[in-house]
């Protein structure tokens, strides 16, 4: 493998820090070219993947991307579409034509009303950050049972674990179905004791005082996972 | 800003309540961790910082000299104000004071001023000439639920550790502000069908009726405020009142430790 | 700026009232992640100044009229708490706070990559809890850290610091007495990695040599403060990777 990034492995950088590289390299998110130098734009770790170096931010707001699986709730309805809060800077639109129901204009409320949660997918994000979602797809639906918890998009990687090992362990131990959405929400379905077990872990994140996993949170989370 | 309450949250709160659980894993009358610091602001004559769970409040006391009002020649005054600024939470958009901000000011003012914890006559320097105008300002820096109790605690802790700046105004020697009562506020919220103490952010969002009780040292009730919606039974009230006495006594000890 | 020459603020040996030399900063501390409700936050103490900053967003820009189709707007509020100064400040509209909010927003414009968030706004809430000269510099410096803590993409950090002149001597970082009785005040905003100036203001009277010396002090101080910003941001993660 061609190592182009010559800095310390997974170096922690802050905005404005220069990134040293040898030779040609493609840059991914979080890195810009300024005055012939590569500059980090966020607090995060520099990583390399097949000749592309990118920055993995420690903390960033959830920015929806096409293909993301998200859990959101209806904030309003107008015409033939539902407006969803999916935790991004803008609300997302779900038009009736992209829902599994075939209803008349104005009969949205029969199927989903204000305050209802749903598992949907981001279909498209335009240049003005307008978001359109779809409920047509396997597994996508209104969420009527179980609980929805917030772990934050910055904590998904930690929660799921490398190759999903944390998530598998949690599912097995609790007997619950756990859906982890890209916008940092999780949906837990199962019996009450099972849900309680999963929440015991997810509470580390929802109770936390920071929107990203810092050292203390990582430590206490790992400890709880070991006890399973 | 109007907040939408997700239906699933309400269901979840009810189910948790049935099992005597709360959404953040606390017991029904369990309080979050509190850190109380005093003398934290050098330009204030008295100050306190309360970190209550994720809620953070600063309180500062400022003195000014003025002439007494003609109808009260031997009395000073105490003004209490509370600001809920956009810094405290994403839901507080900039603009004119929100209904929450106005209510906070009123509730805190009632709890502290109406308890009579400071004698207005004690704020008189020379009758007919000089009196103290005391301002207690409460600043909410982070709202993660139950700002009312946290503000009230910061307010009374600041007053209790205030030094009257007589030297600076050349009217004598500095001395401790005489605060002869310690009103403590305890807030309860109906969540999932039952009243709990010290609601967190989600319980405030998904909860219903609320009540704020201010108790004095002698167990007397200084003020009682009920939120707009709903009603509660006398047995509800008896249960809450009993718990409020316990909570208030603990919080009072916390303040007393800082005074000494 | 008050009367000059009548108050001795610096001795012949170059010692200032608080013991500092001409080119020394007051003690500074920076902490991040201090406000649990915010997306990003910073607490900074600078001498007796205390500033706490919360960052929210990016979020949809409301009202519609402030929205820009191609970028985010920086919605900055600099506010002094009523108990922050010797004489209480009445809450409400304050012309000075408005001006500083505007200057701060303009300074932050040089570093925040606003083009990444069309139609959005980023809220920067600066609260001065204790004031003792230099609050505007403190607010701007803390705001840059809070933005970095919030993960808002920026092309550099920003440090704001001021130099001035007292009793005819150029000094760095004026405290309250020096600010009141000094002869000049030169606050700047510096982007530490490129050493570019994001902003520069001047009050009072400085000769070209004095101006250069004041800038030299500012630049050197900016490097020191930048290191403190970096340490504060990294301290939560160093050695704690997932």
User: Residue B1 domain-assigned?
Assistant: no
Under an 8 A CB cutoff, do B43 and C85 touch? yes
Chain B neighbors of A203, CB-CB under 8 A: 24-25
- Please report residues of A whose CB lies closer than 8 A to that of B34: none
pLDDT at C13: 84
Nearest-angstrom CA–CA distance, B131 and C240: 57
**Residue B192 falls within a domain, yes or no?**
yes
Question: Is residue C5 pLDDT above 90, yes or no?
Answer: no
Which residue on chain A is closest to B201 by alpha carbon? A207
> What domains can you pick out in chain C, each with its CATH number?
28-234 (3.30.230.70)
Is C158 within 8 Å of C178 (Cβ atoms)?
Answer: no
pLDDT of residue A105: 61
Among A101-110, C137-146, C160-169, whose mean pLDDT is lowest?
Answer: A101-110
Q: How confident is the model at residue B115 (pLDDT cuts 50, 70, 90)?
A: confident
Q: Which residue of A has its CA nearest to B6?
A: A115
* B-interface mutation test, from A77, A192, A207, most B Cβ less than 10 A away: A207
Neighbours of A208 (CB within 10 A): 20
What's the pLDDT at A207? 86
Q: Which residue has the higher pLDDT, C237 or A214?
A: A214
pLDDT tens-digit readout, C32-53: 999 999 999 999 999 999 999 9
pLDDT digits (tens, 9 = 90+) for A113-160: 999 999 999 999 999 999 999 999 999 999 999 999 999 999 999 999
Report, as an integer, the average pLDDT of B149-170.
96
pLDDT at C239 over 60: no
- Report pLDDT for A4: 56
* pLDDT for C241: 43
**pLDDT level of residue B228 (50, 70, 90 thresholds):** low
CB count in 10 Å sphere of residue A112: 22
Chain A neighbors (3+ CB pairs < 8 Å): B, C
Q: Do A115 and B25 touch (CB under 8 A)?
A: no
CB-CB contact of C202 with C185 (8 Å): yes
Count of structural domains within chain B: 1
Can you give the pLDDT at residue C240?
41
Size of interface B-C (CB pairs under 8 A): 96
Phi, psi of C67 (to 5 degrees): -65, 140
Q: Where in chain A is the domain with CATH 2.40.50.100?
A: 12-57
pLDDT-based confidence at A2, cuts 50/70/90?
very low
The whole-number pLDDT of residue B83 equals 87
**Which tens digit of pLDDT belongs to each residue from A171-219?**
999 999 999 999 999 999 999 899 999 999 999 998 888 888 888 899 9
Those of residues 10-39 in A touching chain C at CB distance below 8 A are: 10, 12, 14-18, 30, 32, 34-35, 39
Give C-chain residues touching A57 at CB under 8 angstroms.
Answer: 151
Residue B23 has pLDDT above 70, yes or no: yes
Average pLDDT, chain B: 92
Q: Which residue has the higher pLDDT, B45 or A36?
A: B45
pLDDT band at B233 (very low <50, low <70, confident <90, very high): confident
Kindly report the CATH number assigned to the domain that includes residue B71: 3.30.230.70
Q: Which domain holds residue B229?
A: 7-259
Strand partners, B64: B133
Higher pLDDT, C231 or B180: C231
Could you say which of A143, A148, A207 has the minimum Cβ distance to residue B24? A207
Answer whether B89 sits within 8 Å of C37, measured CB to CB. yes
Question: What's the pLDDT band for A228 if we cut at 50, 70, 90?
Answer: confident
Residue B193 has pLDDT above 50, yes or no: yes
Its ipTM equals: 0.94
Please state, rounded to an integer, the average pLDDT across all residues of chain C.
93
Residues of B in contact with A148 (CB under 8 A): 6, 8-9
Q: Do A75 and B4 touch (CB under 8 A)?
A: yes
| Complete DSSP assignment for B6-70 | -HHHHHHHHHHHHTT--TTS--TTPPPPEEEEES--TTSSEEEEEEETTEEEEEEEEEEEEPPPT
pLDDT of C133: 95
CA distance B192 to chain A (A): 15
Residues of CATH 3.30.1370.10 domain(s) within chain A? Answer: 147-226
Chain C residues touching A129 at Cβ < 8 A:
117-120
Mean pLDDT of A35-45: 94
Q: What is the CATH number of domain A12-57?
A: 2.40.50.100
Nearest by CB to B54, from C37, C62, C82: name it.
Answer: C37
**Distance in angstroms (rounded) separating the CA atoms of residues B56 and B217:** 25
Q: Does A165 touch chain C (CB under 8 A)?
A: no
Average pLDDT over residues A45-71: 93
Q: Which residues of C touch B90 (CB under 8 A)?
A: 37, 39, 56, 59, 123
Domain with CATH 2.40.50.140 in chain A: 69-143
User: Does C77 score more than 80 pLDDT?
Assistant: yes
Residues of C with CB under 8 A from a CB of B: 35-39, 48, 50, 52-54, 56, 59, 62, 75, 77, 79, 81-88, 91, 123, 125, 127, 129-132
CA distance B105 to A134: 45
Answer whether A39 sits within 8 Å of C69, measured CB to CB. no
pLDDT attached to residue A1 = 40
B contact test, residue of C26, C33, C34, C37 with most B CBs within 10 A: C37
pTM of the model: 0.95
Nearest residue of chain A to residue B54 (CA atoms): A209
In a domain, B64, yes or no: yes
Instruction: Tell me what pLDDT residue B99 has.
Output: 87
Summarize pLDDT for C152-197 with one digit per residue, the tens: 999 999 999 999 999 999 999 999 999 999 999 999 999 999 999 9
Which are the contacts of B237, defined by CB distance < 8 A and separation ≥ 6?
A: B211
- How is residue B231 written in tokens? 């009603």
The number of residues making up chain C comes to: 242
Instruction: Report the CATH fold assignment for A147-226.
Output: Ribosomal Protein S8; Chain: A, domain 1 (3.30.1370)
- For the domain covering A69-143, report its CATH number: 2.40.50.140
Q: How many CB atoms lie within 10 A of CB B145?
A: 24
């Amino acid at each position: 493998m061609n190592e182009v990034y010559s800095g310390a492995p997974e170096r922690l950088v802050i905005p404005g820090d220069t990134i040293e590289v040898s030779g040609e390299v493609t840059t991914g998110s979080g890195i810009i070219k300024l005055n012939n130098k590569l500059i980090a734009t966020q607090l995060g770790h520099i990583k390399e993947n097949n000749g592309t170096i990118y920055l993995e931010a420690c903390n960033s707001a959830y920015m929806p991307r096409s293909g993301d699986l998200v859990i959101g709730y209806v904030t309003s309805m107008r015409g033939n579409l539902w407006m969803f809060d999916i935790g991004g800077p803008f609300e997302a639109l779900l038009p009736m034509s992209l829902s599994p129901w075939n209803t008349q204009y104005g009969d949205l409320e029969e199927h989903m009303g204000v305050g209802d949660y749903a598992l949907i997918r981001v279909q498209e994000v335009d240049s003005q950050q307008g978001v359109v979602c779809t409920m047509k797809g396997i597994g996508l639906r209104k969420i009527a049972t179980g609980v929805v918890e917030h772990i934050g998009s910055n904590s998904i990687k930690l929660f799921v674990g490398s190759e999903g090992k944390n998530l598998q362990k949690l599912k097995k131990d609790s007997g619950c179905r756990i859906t982890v959405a890209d916008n940092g929400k999780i949906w837990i379905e199962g019996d009450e004791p099972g849900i309680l077990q999963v929440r015991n872990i997810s509470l580390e994140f929802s109770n936390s005082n920071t929107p990203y996993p810092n050292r203390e949170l990582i430590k206490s989370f790992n400890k709880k996972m070991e006890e399973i | 800003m109007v907040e939408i309450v997700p239906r699933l949250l309400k269901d979840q709160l009810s189910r948790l309540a049935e099992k005597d659980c709360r959404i953040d894993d606390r017991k029904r009358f369990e309080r979050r961790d509190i850190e109380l610091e005093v003398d934290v602001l050098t330009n204030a004559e008295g100050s306190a910082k309360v970190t209550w769970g994720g809620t953070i409040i600063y309180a500062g006391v400022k003195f000014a000299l003025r002439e007494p009002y003609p109808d009260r020649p031997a009395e000073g005054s105490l003004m209490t104000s509370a600001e809920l600024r956009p810094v405290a939470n994403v839901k507080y958009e900039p603009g004119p004071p929100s209904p929450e901000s106005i209510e906070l000011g009123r509730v805190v003012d009632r709890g502290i001023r109406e308890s009579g914890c400071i004698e207005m006559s004690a704020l008189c320097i020379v009758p007919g000439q000089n009196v103290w105008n005391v301002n207690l300002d409460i600043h909410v820096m982070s709202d993660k639920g139950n700002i009312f109790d946290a503000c009230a605690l910061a307010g009374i802790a600041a007053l209790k550790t205030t030094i009257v700046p007589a030297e600076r105004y050349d009217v004598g020697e500095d001395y401790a502000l005489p605060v002869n009562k310690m009103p403590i506020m305890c807030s309860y919220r109906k969540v999932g069908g039952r009243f709990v103490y010290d609601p967190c952010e989600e319980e405030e969002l998904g909860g219903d009726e609320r009540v704020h009780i201010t108790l004095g040292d002698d167990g007397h009730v200084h003020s009682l405020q009920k939120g707009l919606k709903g009603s509660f039974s006398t047995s509800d009230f008896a249960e809450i009142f009993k718990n409020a006495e316990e909570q208030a006594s603990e919080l009072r000890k916390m303040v007393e430790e800082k005074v000494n | 700026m008050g009367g000059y020459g009548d108050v001795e603020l610096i001795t012949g040996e170059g010692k200032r009232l608080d013991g500092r030399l001409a080119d020394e900063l007051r003690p500074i501390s920076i902490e991040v992640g201090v406000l649990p409700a915010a997306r990003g936050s910073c607490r900074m103490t600078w001498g007796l100044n205390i500033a706490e900053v919360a960052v929210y967003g990016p979020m949809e820009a409301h009202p519609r009229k402030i929205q820009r189709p191609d970028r985010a707007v920086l919605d900055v509020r600099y506010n002094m708490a009523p108990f922050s100064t010797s004489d209480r400040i009445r809450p409400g509209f304050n012309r000075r706070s408005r001006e500083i909010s505007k200057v701060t927003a303009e300074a932050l414009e040089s570093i925040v990559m606003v083009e990444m968030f069309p139609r959005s706004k980023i809220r920067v809430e600066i609260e001065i809890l204790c004031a003792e000269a230099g609050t505007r510099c403190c607010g701007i410096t803390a705001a840059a850290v809070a933005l970095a803590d919030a993960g808002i993409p920026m092309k550099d950090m920003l440090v704001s610091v001021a130099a001035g002149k007292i009793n005819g001597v150029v000094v760095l970082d004026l405290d309250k007495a020096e600010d009141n009785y000094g002869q000049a005040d030169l606050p700047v905003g510096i982007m530490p990695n490129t050493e570019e100036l994001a902003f520069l203001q001047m009050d009072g009277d400085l000769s070209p040599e004095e101006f250069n010396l004041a800038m030299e002090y500012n630049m050197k101080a900016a490097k020191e403060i930048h290191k403190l910003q970096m340490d504060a941001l990294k301290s939560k993660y160093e050695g704690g990777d997932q």
